[in-house]
C-alpha cells in the first residue's frame, strides 16, 4: 500500500515534471514574440497587479502554513518529517490593511483554463476559504527595524506570474539538502518565500541554496534558519490555526519532538 500511495505518485510527478518543463520551454519559444510566458494568463495576472497597485506598500508579517490532503502533500510531509506540505508569505497592504498570501502554487482547474502553477497573490481570507486542507499562520517578530513596505510591493509586482519550479527532481534533492545554486526563473513555494525574505534583507544570502528550503523551515519549532539581515528577527513560537479540516491523528508525522507544536 505504501508503494501504491506514495512511491508511484512520486515517480509520476517527477516524470511529468520533466516533461512539463520541456514542453513549457518549447511553448515559450513559440510564443516569444508575444512577450509573455505561457504560464501566464493575461487577465489573471492583470487582476492581481491592479489589486496590489491600490496598496501603497506591502508589509511582511509572517507565513501561511498549509497541509494538503493529496498524495503529493503526504510525500512532502513524510519525506521532510514535517506536518506542513506548503508555505506562502503573508503580507499586509498598508492602504487597505488587508492580509494577502504571496505564494507559488496552482490548481488542476486553473491548468485547464491555461493558467499553469505560478507565483500569485490572493487575499488571505479567500485562501483560507477555498483551500481544501489545513491552514495556519505564523507571524515574524522583527528584532528592531522593519523593511520598507514599498520594497515588498516592488518584489511581488515583479514576480507575479513567475512559473512554479519546472524541474521537480529538485524537490527530492531538497529533502537531502543537496541542491546547489538557485534558478530564480522558476521556484518552489518555500524557495520563493526565502527569496522574498532575502530581497527584504530579513535574511542574508549565504552558501545554502534557496532550493533546499522546505515548509518545515517555516513551520516547525526548531527548523527555522537564522534571519540575521538588516531587518532580522525570528518566527513566533506560536502558530495560529486558521482552518482545521482533519483530526490531528490523520497526519503523517515524525516522533521527533522538534516538530511537535
Q: Is residue 44 part of a domain?
A: yes
Of the candidates 72, 200, 92, the residue with the CA atom closest to the CA atom of residue 146: 200
Q: Is residue 8 part of a domain?
A: no
Successive 10-residue mean pLDDT values, the chain, 261 residues: 46 38 41 46 88 98 95 87 95 98 80 73 96 96 97 97 82 82 86 96 89 91 88 95 73 36 29
Q: Is residue 256 part of a domain?
A: no
The alpha-carbon radius of gyration of the chain (Å, integer) is: 18
CATH code assigned at 197: 3.90.1720
Q: Is residue 198 part of a domain?
A: yes
Question: Is this model's pTM higher than 0.85 or not?
Answer: no
| CA pair distance 146, 201, nearest whole angstrom | 9
Helix (H) or strand (E) holding 17: helix 8-30
pLDDT at residue number 44: 86
Domain of 157, in residue numbers: 39-248
Amino acid at each position: 500500500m505504501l508503494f501504491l500511495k506514495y512511491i508511484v505518485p512520486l515517480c509520476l510527478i517527477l516524470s511529468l515534471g520533466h516533461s512539463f518543463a520541456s514542453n513549457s520551454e518549447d511553448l515559450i519559444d513559440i510564443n516569444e514574440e508575444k512577450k509573455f510566458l505561457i504560464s501566464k494568463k493575461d487577465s489573471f495576472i492583470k487582476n492581481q497587479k491592479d489589486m496590489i497597485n491600490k496598496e501603497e506598500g506591502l508589509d511582511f508579517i509572517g507565513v501561511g502554513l498549509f497541509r494538503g490532503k493529496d498524495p503529493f502533500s503526504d510525500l512532502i510531509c513524510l519525506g521532510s518529517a514535517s506536518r506542513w506540505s506548503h508555505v506562502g508569505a503573508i503580507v499586509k497592504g498598508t492602504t487597505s490593511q488587508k492580509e494577502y498570501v504571496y505564494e507559488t502554487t496552482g490548481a488542476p482547474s486553473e491548468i485547464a483554463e491555461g493558467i499553469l502553477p505560478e507565483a500569485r497573490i490572493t487575499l488571505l481570507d479567500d485562501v483560507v476559504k477555498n483551500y481544501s486542507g489545513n491552514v495556519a499562520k505564523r507571524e515574524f517578530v522583527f528584532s528592531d527595524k522593519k523593511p520598507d513596505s514599498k520594497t515588498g510591493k516592488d518584489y511581488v509586482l515583479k514576480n507575479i506570474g513567475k512559473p512554479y519550479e519546472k524541474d521537480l527532481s529538485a524537490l527530492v534533492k531538497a529533502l537531502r539538502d543537496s541542491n546547489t545554486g538557485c534558478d530564480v526563473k522558476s521556484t518552489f513555494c518555500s524557495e520563493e518565500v526565502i527569496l522574498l525574505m532575502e530581497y527584504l534583507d530579513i535574511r542574508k544570502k549565504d552558501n545554502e541554496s534557496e532550493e533546499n528550503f522546505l515548509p518545515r523551515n517555516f513551520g516547525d519549532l526548531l527548523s527555522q534558519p537564522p534571519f540575521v539581515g538588516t531587518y532580522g528577527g525570528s518566527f513566533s513560537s506560536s502558530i495560529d490555526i486558521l482552518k482545521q479540516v482533519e483530526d490531528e491523528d490523520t497526519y503523517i508525522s515524525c516522533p521527533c519532538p522538534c516538530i511537535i507544536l
